[in-house]
């Protein structure tokens, strides 16, 4: 009934708000903040552990590059 991207987007959105509220001790306000990186990994064919580790490493590199680009060009 629901697409994988829709479910993941919902889970990432709701969990980010929940974590922010718990960590900051606030009841409202999350607009303009980012918690999770873009995208996700979903496999129906069975990725092995090394492929998943490589995917995470690549995501970390991309996130650091995005942060660097943002700080240089706000």
Domain boundaries of the chain, sorted by first residue: 1-36, 37-73
pLDDT grade for 22, boundaries at 50, 70 and 90 = confident
Q: What is the pLDDT of residue 31?
A: 65
Cβ atoms of residues 55 and 41 within 8 Å? yes
55 is catalytic: yes
Angle at alpha carbon of residue 21, lines to 16 and 24, rounded to 5°: 115
pTM: 0.48
3-state secondary structure string, the chain?
CCCHHHHHHHHHHHHHHHHHHHHHCCCCCCCCCCCCCCCCCCCCCCCCHHHHHHHHHHHHHHHHHHHHHHHHCC
Give the per-residue pLDDT at 36.
74
Out of 2, 10, 40, 55, pick the active-site residue.
55
For residue range 27-65, what is the model confidence (pLDDT) as tens digits?
A: 766 666 667 777 777 776 777 878 778 877 787 777 777
């Amino acid at each position: 009934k629901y697409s994988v991207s829709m479910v993941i987007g919902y889970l990432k959105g709701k969990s980010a708000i929940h974590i922010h509220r718990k960590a900051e001790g606030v009841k409202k306000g999350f607009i303009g903040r980012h918690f999770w990186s873009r995208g996700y990994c979903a496999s129906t064919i069975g990725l092995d552990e090394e492929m998943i580790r490589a995917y995470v490493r690549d995501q970390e590199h991309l996130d650091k590059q995005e942060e660097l680009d943002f700080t240089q060009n706000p």
